[in-house]
Structure formats: structure tokens, C-alpha cells
Amino acid sequence: MHGAALTNGIDGSGKDGTFPLFVRVNGIVWPQTVISKYIRGGDGDKENGVITGDVEEEWIIDITGLTGATEYDFEFVKKGGKIVYQASACTMPARASSAAPPVTKQPSRPLSPITTLMHSLSQASSCLTEKKNRLKVVKKNQKTALSDIRKETEKNRSLLGNDRGDERAFRRILALKESIKRADEETEKMTKEIEGLQNLPDKLKAEWKAKKRGWREERDKLLSAQSQAGEVKEAADRQTSTVESEAASLVQKKERLTVRLGKLCVDLEKLEKEHQQNIETRRKREAERENVEKHRLSLEKEFSDAILRMEQKTVDFRMYSADNWATFYAYESSIQSQPPLSTLDTGLQGTNSNRNSLHISTPPGLMLHQGSYTASSSSLPTGTAGPTRERSSSVFSSESVVTNMSELERSEVIRSTHFPRGNSHDHITPFFPGAVGAGSALVGSPNRKEV
């Protein structure tokens, strides 16, 4: 294209008065048009809009948003509605694109307005999708480029910092060089002063030698003192190490003694507990022993009293036995002095054979004789007549003995008398009052037989 193109915008309707015409596609006012004016010929500055002379205006119309490989009817209309130019054309097939819709077979005649709008809408959406994809790719590339730029910026900043550090180091080096230079100057100055001081005058040499001699003496003293101090320090260190080792051993010994003391305390507590238990056991045993002793004393007293009572009863029984024997002897003598009976009752005929034979039951230790009787036991009284008593005049059979009523009453009293017995079954043999002698039959005894 030659000349200048003046583009004022996109407006297919031309209502704003900028463009003299607009475009209709398949009878629809097509908004996606770009109208440009091109001026041909003339003189002047075309870029700045200053043109002189004969000129020709050309209008270039760019229509977009069409579907590829499709037949369209184009109409160029002025503002008043007059059609300036109309033509039919078929668009070129679209290039392959991932966002492009599938290719369908288009009819040979132009499309209706609605179909045209639908195709335009689908084409616009596909273009939008493609632009979005391109925008995403561009954004990604821009992000990558931005990250690279940031890295490069950080790198440049670090390099700039290093440059500042290098600058500081360079300044420091310059300062050190200056300091070294001043130090060298001072060293030279001091060297000159020392050389001047070494060349002492003759007047000061004697004083200098005396002071030097004194200085050497003091130095020797210092060295000897330092050696002595070293020896003393070594001795003190050895003594300190010895004391520390002794302290460590004492600490270990203290720990062992502490452990042993703990064990001994535990053993002492156990022994105290055992001792307390032994004391309590001993107290219990002493209390039991005292109780047993008291019980034994009570039993001894009880048995002593029982023995005394039984001895008194024995004396009484001996007296009663002597009285009984005296009575028995008297009855026997009276029976022997009586003449034999000639006649008996009829009811006693069956006993005639035993009438003349009289069986007398005698207690052990006694021997009876005809007309006289003596006791084989020294403890029994001899046959003497007792005091006068009331006698029974009835005659009994041979299995009974005649006694007076006073002796019978006394025997009943003796039977009813209660004699205490021992209450210990472990150490004392039970004592049964009433059994005096072995097998003896006393008055009042349940073992007595009547003759």
C-alpha cells in the first residue's frame, strides 16, 4: 500500500459522521469492520496532516470475523441507505488450530442472517479461545522472563555489593599503606635517636656502666627469685595435688561410710523391731507365767483345803466306823447269846436250811472269831462296847444287817455332802472325795453291802 492511511476507528454504521459508509454482510450490519482512508497525491507533510495540491481519497475496508470457506454477500451502503457496491465472495479456508471448530460442508449459496450470526459467534468464540491460549503462553513467557530479570537483578545487586566491598577494601588498603608509611618514618626517626643515644659522651659512660651493673645485679636477683618462686610453686602444686587426692579418697571413704551407715541404720531398725518383739513376747510369757503361777497357787490352795477337809472327813469316818463296829460287835454277841428258834412262820419254810448259817460281810482288815473279834488294822478300834444306843428289835434275813437309825441318818448326810474336786486336768491327778482306801465299804458309801 502506498500513501498515507488514516484510521479513525471501527464503526460500520457510520452514525457518528466519521465514515461516509458502512458494510452489510448477508443483510446484516457488520460491526467487525476497519475503515481506513488513504490519501493519494498532493504535497506537504502527510504525516502531520498538512497536504496541499490535488489529492485523491481512497477508503480501505478490512472485514474480520468471517468463517473460512464460506460464501458471503457484501454490501457497501452510504448513510442515506443507498447501496454503493455489492459483491459475493468466498472466504479462504482457515488455518489449522487447536481451538478451531470441526470443518463442516458449507452450502454453495449464501447463508441466512441468523446462520451468519451463529457462525460469526462461533468464530468469535474460537478466536477468543485462541487469544486466551496465546495470552496464557505470553503470560508464562513473561513470568519466565520476569524471573530471569529478577535473578539478573539480584546478581547485579550482589555484584554491586561486592564492588562496594572491594571499594572499602581498597580504601582500607590505602589507609594501611599510609599507616605503614608513617610507621616507617617513625621507625627511621627512632633509629636515628637510638644511634644518637648510643654515642654517649665520656661524662655519662661511667654513670651508664654503674647503672648497667646495677641493672644486671637486679636482673640476676630477679632470675633467682623467679627460679625460687618456680620451685615453691612446684612444691605447692605437688602438695595441692596430694591434698586433692587425699580429699578425693576421703570423699570416697565418706560415701562408703554413708552407705554403710545407711545399711547399719536399717539393720538397727530391724534389731530394734526384733528387740521390741522379744520384749513383748517376754512380757506375754511373764504374764502367762504369772497367770499359770496364780492358777497353780489357787489349785494348790484349793487342793490343800480339800486335803484338809478330807483328812477331817477321814477322822470322822474312822470315828463313825468305830461306832459301827462297836454296834456290830454288840449285836453279834446278842445274837450268839440268844437260843435257836424251834419254829418259824409258814411263809419262811423255804429258808430253813439257811437259818442256822449266818453270813456276815466284814470289811477288809478285820477277822471275826466266835465270841470274840479283833482288828488287824491298828487304825481301827478294838472290840469295846460303845455308848448305849437305841437298838432295833426286829429280826431280818441273812442278807441284811441290823443298824440303828442314827447311823443311817448320818450316812445319808455324808452322801449328800459335796466334796470339792481339782479343776486342773494337765498337771494334777483328779481327786474324788469319798473313796477312802481301796475297796473299803464305809457308812454312807455306795459300795456298801448289807448282811
Percentage above 90 pLDDT, the chain: 33
Residue 266 is placed in which grid cell? 536399717
- What is the overall mean pLDDT for the chain? 72
* Lowest mean pLDDT across 67-71, 277-281, 431-435: 431-435
Quote helix, strand, coil % in the chain, to nearest 5.
Answer: 55, 10, 35
pLDDT in tens, 2-31: 333 333 444 444 444 567 788 888 888 888
pLDDT digits (tens, 9 = 90+) for 372-384: 443 333 344 444 4
pLDDT at 419 over 60: no
Q: How confident is the model at residue 416 (pLDDT cuts 50, 70, 90)?
A: low
Return the higher-pLDDT residue of 444 and 86: 86
In terms of C-beta density within 10 A (0-12 exposed, 13-18 middle, 19 or more buried), how is residue 291 classed?
exposed
| pTM for the structure as a whole | 0.28
Cβ pair 66, 8 in contact under 8 A? no
Q: What is the pLDDT of residues 32-61, one digit of tens each?
A: 888 887 777 666 555 555 555 577 778 888
The candidate with the shortest Cα–Cα distance to 320, out of 411, 433, 418, is 411
Cα dihedral 316, 317, 321, 324 sign = positive
DSSP string, 320-376: HHHHHHHHHHHHHHHHHHSPPPS---GGGGGGGGGTS-------TTEEE-SS-EEES
Residue type, 148: D
The contacts of residue 163 (CB under 8 Å, 6+ apart) are: none
CA distance 437 to 377: 13
Nearest in space to 407 (alpha carbons), one of 372, 360, 448, 347:
448
Domain ranges in the chain are 4-115
Kindly report each contact of residues 362-365 with a partner whose C-beta sits within 8 Å and lies 24 or more positions away, as own/partner.
363/321, 363/440, 363/441, 364/437, 364/439, 364/440
Q: Which amino acid is residue 360, in one-letter code?
A: I
Min mean pLDDT across 33-37, 54-58, 94-98, 101-105 is at 101-105
Residues in contact with 132: Cβ distance below 8 Å, sequence separation at least 6, in sequence order: none
C-alpha cell at 171: 580504601
More confident residue, 304 or 81: 304
Cα 451 from Cα 448, distance rounded (Å): 10
Q: Tell me which residue has cell 571413704.
A: 253
> Burial letters for 249-274: b for 16+ Cβ neighbours within 10 Å, e otherwise?
eeeeeeeeeeeeeeeeeeeeeeeeee
Q: What CA–CA distance (Å, rounded) separates 307 from 303?
A: 6
